[in-house]
Amino acid sequence: MSPERHLWQIKRVQHVTSSAQGTDDFSLAAPEVKADKPFKLRWKYEDTNGYGIRLVDKQHKYFIVLKRVESTTKTGRFQDIVEILCFDFNLRLKWSKKVKTYPFSVDLAPNGETLFIGLGKGEGSDVAYDPGYLLMLNPDGKEIAKAKIPAIGFSIDFIADDRAIFMFRKENGTLLYEYTKDQKGVWQQGKPVEGMGEKGEFGAGLYDIELANYTLKRTDKKQYEISNGIIVQKMKLPAAIYEAFELTREKIVLRIGNKTICCLRPDFQKEWEIKTKYNISSLVPGEGGILLVSKEEVAFADLQGAIKWRLSAPPNSYENQAIWVKEKGVFLWATGNEHNYIICSITEEGKIHHSQAFQGARRYATSLVIEEEGIFLFHFSDSVECYYI
């Protein structure tokens, strides 16, 4: 029931086509992008039987898909035959390899030099916490090594090009081991890692931050020491810092907590501050400003901290991510869910170059941008598609 004599105002969400300019009024709902300017398709790789895990190596310019090619029952035991296929960005097959058990885990080193595959023993229906083997392949698909592991279900936290923490899933918890790469390129299991959590001594947030002209060191839960090489100053903040980057040589931008973006001058005095309505998940710097990304919308702020335009994500979006593509002078913004997923290229001025809706997007592997090629890859359950930005 509305209060007596109260006149409700209904704020409609408008669709915007060619430009997001004039959408900076926070008292109004940000408009949604109308998906009516499709990107140009470069190629499409399709298989009606569908695919499993996919990985993309931007450095070596290839992508990998896994697909089940055969399922057999031998001596009363079920067995999968899975093919690992590696293609370059022109859709040429680089190599393929068949394995006789379904890979529960597949990961790629950040430098693309090693592909890690968790394989069962092929003795029946394996589960993630069963012991098995870690198969390591090089970018040409050649076997580097094969070693026993405590569980075929794992994830990897890469600390450096030659050091990582492997997290193996077991029935009663997680086993953590440090791995290091030797001179032959083989990753060797080291000592167990005890008491490793997602948060450090002072909780969530950044700790030691080194930029070109600034450094920050966390000294307490909400306290940092900031330096520009000449001045050192202690800062007490309302929350931890979650992002930090240099906007220009003279200015540093901090995301403090989830709703505050602050720009500091070289004397550490506040240049400007933005308080947002929604929790910010990431900041994406461009040439003339910053894109503020939240689950609900994106907003662009110029170098003076003024909001110039805003756009809403589609309803029930679980993903909202963006990247600045310098060569094209646009933000590539991807948002939505598997039923309604939109990718949009938009300039800092708010002009929309392309906007396209995709149905059937994969939850865990939606889009990946290869800036040097001016393309992005999009994953569906039965295909991989490549578009020009």
Three-state SS at 1? coil
Output the CA angle 229-301-298, nearest 5 degrees.
Answer: 120
> What percent of the residues of the chain are helix, what percent strand, and what percent coil, each to the nearest 5?
0, 55, 45
Mean pLDDT calculated for residue range 321-343? 90
Mean pLDDT of the chain: 85
Q: Where are the domains of the chain?
A: 52-192
Q: With bands split at pLDDT 50, 70 and 90, how would you rate the model's confidence at 258?
A: very high
Q: Around 81, how many Cα atoms within 13 Å sit in the side-chain half-sphere?
A: 9
Could you report the per-residue pLDDT of 199-251, keeping only the tens digit for each?
A: 567 888 888 888 999 999 999 999 999 999 899 999 999 999 999 999 877 89
Query: What pLDDT does 383 receive?
Result: 80
Q: Rounded distance, CA 383 to CA 122, Å?
A: 28
> Residue 325, Cα to own-chain centre: how many angstroms?
15
The pTM (predicted TM-score) of the whole model is: 0.78
Could you report the per-residue pLDDT of 44-91, keeping only the tens digit for each?
A: 988 776 666 778 887 778 888 877 766 665 555 556 788 888 998 889
Higher pLDDT, 8 or 227: 227
> Residue 371, Cα to own-chain centre: how many angstroms?
15
- Least Cα distance to 23 among 307, 338, 255, 277 occurs for 307
Query: What pLDDT does 6 receive?
Result: 52
Query: What pLDDT does 51 receive?
Result: 67
Cβ-based neighbours of 163, under 8 Å, separated by 6 or more: 178, 179, 180, 181
Looking at domain 52-192, its CATH superfamily turns out to be YVTN repeat-like/Quinoprotein amine dehydrogenase (2.130.10.10)
Mean pLDDT calculated for residue range 326-340? 89
Using a pLDDT cut of 90, give the percent of the chain over it: 45
